[in-house]
Amino acid sequence: MAGLHDKFGRAITDLRISVTDRCNYKCVYCRTGNEGALYGDLPFADYLRMARVLVGMGITKIRLTGGEPLLRNGIVGFVRELAKLRPQGLKPPSSAGANGTAEGAAFHATPSLEIALTTNGHLLADMAQRLKDAGLDRVTVSMDAVDPDRSARITRVPNGFDHVLAGIRAAREVGLGPVKVNCVLMRGFNEDQIIPFGMFAREENVIVRFIEFMPLEEGRTWAPSTVVTLDEILARMSEYLPVMEIEHGRSETARRYRFEDGIGEFGIIAPVSHPFCGHCSRIRITSDGKIRTCLFSVWDHDLHAQMRRGAGDEELAEFIRGVVMKKEERHHIGEADFVPASRTMVHIGG
Ligand code: SF4
């Protein structure tokens, strides 16, 4: 099988790179403790080499995450270097027979490369145009309330809301879209924001995605009762306007819905009530250069250590293939044998 596959036959095409575990926000569903930045980050050249090897192995989508990735000086330059991994001028094979040749392999090895970024949006307004010019395709902005006071209560950053809204609008204006806005719902904090976000999606022409709260926060305070489930979200939104489900890609994390009048789209990422591990296509590289094969892994695999000891690209590829064969089948949230992940979200990068 061409490309990178795990032992369950899942194609691994989606790489998430955390470029820092520092963050300028302190969201209640993530940074409930006082861990702060623990692992630090690497020179962009190291992430670039990792990405180059992985793109050669079949990765077609790279998402930059953190902590907060826009805190890293040089992030625009890093996007520009990643964009050079795209098949510049690489033409499809001249004839079907060429598929078995180096030309064909080279083309199929990197059919396309999408570069996206997830941010809390606080610094985005000033950087959107430069990121776009550097080759970024899309951004996803985390925002958990469409009310400034509520937003401040959740992020524990006063006056952040206006920055985030300006960032979303700037991203939309420069063409980093469709802009997606991720909202983690947490009972007791923002379950009353479902309909306001439906209105927001329609007014701002962005795709809002509600995310079920997962047990990945610092203080380990998660409980099933804090989860606002997909069924609840749909029932609530349907009280506002009729909605209909629309098709979504097999490895997409979100189920997609549109308002029946055709104005506005939203999604629901429901890892707790409707797990989607069966088609998981993701692996992650942490800010300190470790591979995580699942958000809920209890292991890290030290790719950067291989680089430090002088491994060549083929050795790195071999190491990665071995690690991917250890990828977990699924998470065990809410089950008796559930073991918390060895890292919390801010140190993984979503
Ligand atoms: S929990 Fe793990 S296996 Fe499941 S979708 Fe997320 S990363 Fe993939």
pLDDT in tens, the chain (350 residues): 678 999 999 999 999 999 999 999 999 888 866 667 788 999 999 999 999 999 999 999 999 999 999 999 999 999 999 999 997 644 444 444 444 455 555 544 445 899 999 999 999 999 999 999 999 999 999 999 999 999 999 999 999 999 999 999 999 999 998 999 999 999 999 999 999 999 999 999 999 999 999 999 887 789 999 999 999 999 999 999 999 999 877 778 999 999 999 999 999 999 999 999 998 999 999 999 999 999 999 999 999 999 999 999 999 999 999 999 999 999 999 999 999 999 999 999 87
For residue 328, how far is its CA from the centre of ligand 1 (angstroms)? 8
Instruction: State residue 96's pLDDT score.
Output: 44
Helix (H, G, I), strand (E, B) or coil at 61: strand
Instruction: State residue 251's pLDDT score.
Output: 74
Instruction: State residue 88's pLDDT score.
Output: 61
Whether the CB of 272 sits within 6 Å of ligand 1 = no
For residue 295, how far is its CA from the centre of ligand 1 (angstroms)? 6
Can you name the residues that pair with 64 across neighbouring β-strands? 17, 117
For residue 30, how far is its CA from the centre of ligand 1 (angstroms)? 18
Instruction: State residue 177's pLDDT score.
Output: 86
Contact by Cβ (8 Å): 120, 155: yes
- Report the candidate in 254, 156, 161, 145 with the shortest Cα–Cα distance to residue 207: 254
Look at ligand 1, atom 5, and give the residue with the nearest C-alpha. 277
For the CA of 276, the nearest atom of ligand 1: 5
Whether the CB of 332 sits within 6 Å of ligand 1 = no
What is the C-alpha separation between 282 and 284, in angstroms, rounded? Answer: 7
**How far does CA 101 lie from the centroid of its chain?**
34
Whether the CB of 284 sits within 6 Å of ligand 1 = no
Instruction: State residue 266's pLDDT score.
Output: 98
Q: Give the angle 91-92-97 at the CA atoms, nearest 5°.
A: 130
Pocket test for ligand 1, best of 280, 293, 297, 343 (most atoms within 8 A of CB): 280
Pocket test for ligand 1, best of 291, 324, 327, 331 (most atoms within 8 A of CB): 331
Instruction: State residue 102's pLDDT score.
Output: 56
| CATH dotted code for 14-347 | 3.20.20.70
Instruction: State residue 58's pLDDT score.
Output: 95
